[in-house]
A = this chain, B = another copy of it.
Amino acid sequence: MVTRYLSVIPLDEAMALLAREFPCTPSVMQVPLEEAAGRITAGPIFARFSVPEIHLAAMDGIAVVSAETKGASDQRPVTLPRAVRVNTGNVVPPGYDAVIMIEDVWEEDGRYTIRKAASPWQHVRPAGEDLAESEMVMSSRHRIRPHEIGALATYGLTRLDVITVRIGLIPTGSELVPAGTRPAPGQVVESNTLMAKAMLEDAGATCTRYPFVEDRPEVIREALAKAAHENDIVIVSAGSSAGTKDYTADVIAGLGTVLVHGVATKPGKPVIIGRIGGKPVVGLPGYPLSALTVIREIVLPFLKTYGLAVPDPEIIRAVITSALAKEIGSDEFVLCALGNVGGHWIVSPQSKGAGVQMSAVRANAYIRVPRQSEGFNAGDEVDARLMVPVQDAKGALLVTGSHDPVLDYLADLLRPSGVSLISTHVGSMGGILALKKDECHAAPTHLLSDDGSYNTHYLQKYLPRTPVDLICVAGRQQGVVSRTGLTFAGMQGRTFINRQKGSGTRMLLDYELKKAGIDPSSLPGYDREVTTHIAVALAVKSGEAEAGLCVYSAAKALGLAFVPMAQERYELAIRREHADDPRIQALVAAIRSPAFKAILDRLGGYDTSETGTRRTVS
């Protein structure tokens, strides 16, 4: 057995260790006023001059000597011996002590008449009314708000000392290529330090990405020593696991001390915390979602102790749609789709794969399952931590069921109206079960019954007393995808790539196999399942399989041959009770829009003659 980690400690112990082992003193940098918004002051800020420095007119009108206005009235207008026309902001001349608004003044031949006396100092902004020289404008550790930039200019400030934390980011790995390069087999686009930089600078850190370092201890050593010298914190991307080329821990141990190797979080476990020259060094795991978790749950909270502003996520209590089992002992973080269905907040865990970056793009929330917990049962109420503003979560439209690429285009059409369509691919049957539990807004489905009809029988069976509308997205061609133009008959004996149980495409396959009297086990690869049309096409393109079943648009997108087999009815099942929900109305409007029809025509393989029609099942 190979030992993976020196020691794995709980997350809260790791955080306590960081606070204990390091002084957490931020760096101070000077920024020009125009770049100060969002920054945090390093020390108190004092006014360099008084505002105003001298008495000013607070209105457009005339400056007067108030004593000379005494007794003026409608009956007895007073023409002033001396009065000076002033605009708002003009200096009130010495000896004058009031301003009369221009509306209350009658002018003739340069002389002013008034019908009401002025009280001393009326409409005058006295010197220092706003702030006096030497007064404190804002304290230390104040986060400068955009609207305060004007005030700071007014008080004479043009450069400000603000705090930051200098973080050196070192990407290691001989397999890395820079963003924009198509990776050859075995190469990987370096993305973790790009992500880290964006997340950490959003919190006010100042990041330096160092050049890629290949997997050789001596060059990693050199890069680490340099970065530790130049920064407050160093983050080494990858090399923190136990692969044959994971040198990070050894290099840190050589230059300083490894304090922690492994924190009990999931994802994110293979993290290293060390010290070089008094500076904290964090070894980031290589999987993007592991790296994301370490940055969000360890590095960002650590930056808080330096005084940077790291907002806590907003929390919404929501009902979880599926069980989340876990072992006691580690904190788990699960990306989710959160939405409000019929007045209830619903949260659905997404894929747990640490390599699937798209789940962090699709997710609008995450759940933290504490280490003492054994997890949650479906239906439990949990804390969903928001990754978007509350307003966006309120606009989430949960579409759960059968996958089709056009769902992404519907999302694209809906987004400008403030609706965020989040689709979860669980197959047609999974969608109908979610609809039954009222855990989604719409369930895309294409379930074929023995009589050749689509969807209605299944809804009647699974939601017997619930009125449901079926909105037709399109008639859709399913067929055999291959590199060589195989037919359904021709694909016998070839390696196959299948869809998951419960998906309409799988049921179509089984229906056709049965009809043709073919034993599924005669298809090599029948057991190999993927969850989307495009994944089927990709397996064929990559040579993993010779044939599969998918929709035309997926085959076309990857330039593969497609032989049609069946046209099916791809519909959205929606509970009637939600028909008035503005998000659902926006969805139906988007399906019926000419723009959507144009997209279907362009993608190909869709029959739009019934697109947007409504059927009812009850």
Contact = CB atoms under 8 A, between A and B. Distances in A.
Interface of A: 1-2, 4, 33-34, 37-38, 44, 48-55, 58, 60, 85, 87-91, 102-103, 105-106, 120-121, 125-143, 145-151, 153-154, 156-158, 175, 179-180, 182-183, 185-186, 188-192, 194-199, 201-202, 241-246, 286-288, 291-292, 295-296, 307, 309, 311-312, 353, 355-358, 360-361, 387-389, 391, 405, 408-409, 411-412, 414-416, 527-528, 530, 532, 534-535, 537-539, 542, 544, 557-558
B54 A542 contact: yes
Contact of A151 (B130, B145, B361, B389): B361
Contacts of A89: 175, 188, 286
Given A188-B89, A557-B134, A140 B1 contact: no
Contacts of A416: 140-141, 307
A50 B286 contact: no
A154, A180, A195, A296: residue with the most chain B Cβ atoms closer than 10 Å = A154
B151 A358 contact: yes
Contacts of A132: 532, 534-535, 537-538, 557-558
Q: Which 4 A-B pairs have the closest CB atoms?
A: A150-B195, A87-B243, A128-B538, A150-B191
Given A194-B33, A243-B88, A527-B120, A288 B126 contact: no
A147 B60 CA distance: 52
Contacts of A535: 126, 128-129, 132
For the residues of A in contact with B, the DSSP-based class is: loop
A248 B24 CA distance: 52
A48 to B, nearest CB: 8
Q: How many copies does the complex hold?
A: 2
B353 A34 contact: no
A394 B98 CA distance: 43
Given A145-B388, A147-B195, A151-B357, 16 more contacts: A2-B102, A34-B194, A38-B202, A49-B183, A90-B186, A91-B185, A128-B539, A130-B355, A132-B537, A136-B408, A138-B361, A139-B412, A140-B416, A146-B202, A151-B358, A311-B389
Given A34-B194, A355-B125, A189 B244 contact: no
